[in-house]
Structure 1
Amino acid sequence: MPLSDELKAFIVQRAHTLGFAQVGVARAEPLPAQGLLAWLHAGLHGGITYMDRDPDLRLDPRMLLPGAASVIVLSSNYYFPVEDKKDSARGIIARYARGDDYHTVLSAKLRQLVQEIRKHAPAAQTRIAVDSAPVLEKEWAHRSGIGWRGKHSCIISPPYGSWIFLSEIILDLELPADQPMEERCGSCRLCLDACPTGALIRPYVVDSRKCISAITQLKPDQPIPIEHQAAMGNHLFGCDLCQAICPWNQGQLPPTTEAGFSPRPYFTNPLLTDLAGWDEAQFLQRTSRSPIKKVKYAGFMRNVQVALRNGKQL
């Protein structure tokens, strides 16, 4: 077996041991610029201002790691079988945000995996990314065979559906590349029709200015736009509407094995009136190690107040 094949097999084995669901490899090469630049120039990134910084870095991993030859993409399953109640008196928090912050959980695992890689290749240079570095992770996930890009823009990867986190290791060693997965959405447009704000303006393109997930994560000093408050309903942080309706996310999906992604009970079907009673100390205690803490107490309570008004509880 060639050394590159041997190293890849080792990486895959160790990644699975660490709890990653899938591993794929793509060649580190420049990505087409047209889609990203058109999205930015149209202002569709809205308040996600970091997307406007350093687009050249996002388009070429070799600018992030000189000598980069491979992009290792890893998926992590965060699905758990919990039924969300259709009750306007209860808040909705996106599934990904009900447990520990995936950035922290996966960064630790990536660092462990890099240590394992260096046991086989001590001189290897790497750069890790967990939805933080300027990496177009969905494009790399498609190129590496992890899944295909659904019309809601999320990566769909049977048997996990789109309930997956993505993370990457950019490596200066050439590994055998995997083949992209064929798109399987066909003529389905359930996700496009499910978005109450019309944020999915066409297949694969999201207008972040209208996206409920992005709106609930506006900075604490920013008000929720009046024109989107009613459509926000009882969403408090994030939104799963376009994913929840996807046929690939139905049925008996494998539950996550990562304890850190298990939902905290007070983030599943919480009564809005209970949340409205939290003081800042309670918020900080209950959002410790949670992605929700990014909106701070003021931002979370802003969202709770909008949800209470929408549910006619104010």
Structure 2
Amino acid sequence: MTQSDLDYAQIAQQIKAWGKDLGFSDVGIADLDVSQHKAWVDQWLASDYHGSMHYMTQNQDLRLDPSLLQPGSLRAVCVRLDYLPPKARFADNILDPNSANISRYAGGRDYHKMMRNRLKQLGQKIQTQLPQLSFRPFVDSAPVLERPLAEKAGLGWVGKHSLLLSNPGGSWYFLGELLVNLPLPVDLPVANQCGSCKACRTLCPTQAIVDDYVVDARRCISYLTIEHEGAIDESLRSAMGNRIYGCDDCQLACPFNRSSELTEETDFHTREYFQQASLLSLFSWSEQEFLERLQGSPIRRIGHKKWLRNISVALGNAPYDPQIVAALQGKLEDCEKDFLVEHLQWAIEQQNSKKQLLASSPSRASQRLARIVQKGLPRDA
């Protein structure tokens, strides 16, 4: 069969069906022209909103022309995979300052390899029917503008918090792409439905969403606890609360997440030791325990020292407890002189300043967010 004889509309529908069979929550197809985003990317970088993520300034030609990543590519098959776990206990984590608040995408298995393998399987499945297919899967593995591509593929629209949103579906999902050399029909984008809502901007703890659709990573708790190396700006530490890896607040505030589906992937379910985990228990992990217990977890890549840095900040924000002070002082005595020392000392100072206040209540913003969560999350989340 020649290429001109192929029914690409039928092939596109078959690809979407195969994608669903592989467990993807949604599949769409986009062309590769993202050149209209160049001005926005240039302005974002010029404002230094990327912080220390210097890789964002590199390979702009690849970022703005995905076909350079896989010569001959004509389309991106964009996929979504839901990750919201059951029994996420968002409200409990928000209101209990002694518990560890970890972004819900990171409580289970790392998604990168899983999604890449499934995208590879999808490509191989297509190849059994179309041997001429050339493909390459991507899951955060190259300079790809994944949200603009997913938006073009009709998987949702980019919300004011800069994440992809869908209705129904919200934003609790991962994205991936399969570049292919097939002239498949493309899907139509969906309309932006954010309207006048600014809940994500209002409830961001550090006011990192500096304008609609613009995030200053230097203020974002996800960036500070994951990507950022060295010391965290002291002016932002108190606002971090008990968030030790990532932050879900902008997603929790979003009304579209009231219709989110719980994941069917058991690998994304929160690991047992993160269920109502106390800050002190996680702070006590040795480096060996950190590496062993977080095998296969996305958290493992930040390393033990940044793990302790993040928890130190959270312990400094917790109500006064002599056990916390003892744990911080014990770690300080064994610590080499580097950025971790600064955070341990800061946390001890914070604890000592609260000594006369044996209890503290969450901020009004946290209380408001907890009420939103209790009213709005899907049942069993």
Native 8 Å contact 1:73 1:168 kept in 2: yes
- Name the structure 1 match of 2:23: 19
Give the alignment of 1:1-314 within 5 angstroms. Answer: 3-32=7-36, 33-81=38-86, 82-84=88-90, 85=92, 86-218=95-227, 222-250=230-258, 253-312=260-319, 313-314=324-325
Compute the displacement of 1:95 (Å). Answer: 0.6
More helix by share: 2
- Paired amino acid for 2:274: F
* Structure 1 portions without partners, runs of 5+: none
Native 8 Å contact 2:120 2:136 kept in 1: no
* Structure 2 portions without partners, runs of 5+: 326-381
Tell me the TM-score normalised to structure 1 length: 0.96
- Paired amino acid for 1:21: S
Compute the displacement of 1:83 (Å). Answer: 1.8
Q: Which is greater in Rg? A: 2
In 1: Cα distance, 2:188 partner to 2:145 partner: 18
RMSD: 1.4
In 2: Cα distance, 1:160 partner to 1:290 partner: 25
Structure number with the bigger relative contact order (C-alpha 8 A, sep ≥ 6) is 1
Tell me the TM-score normalised to structure 2 length: 0.79
Native 8 Å contact 1:27 1:71 kept in 2: yes
Compute the displacement of 1:185 (Å). Answer: 0.8
How many aligned residue pairs are there?
A: 312
Native 8 Å contact 1:7 1:120 kept in 2: no
SS at 1:250 equivalent: helix
Native 8 Å contact 1:141 1:147 kept in 2: yes
Native 8 Å contact 2:34 2:149 kept in 1: no
In 1: Cα distance, 2:39 partner to 2:129 partner: 38
Compute the displacement of 1:302 (Å). Answer: 1.0
- Name the structure 1 match of 2:360: none
- Paired amino acid for 1:9: Q
SS at 1:23 equivalent: strand
In 2: Cα distance, 1:132 partner to 1:154 partner: 18
In 2: Cα distance, 1:132 partner to 1:245 partner: 29
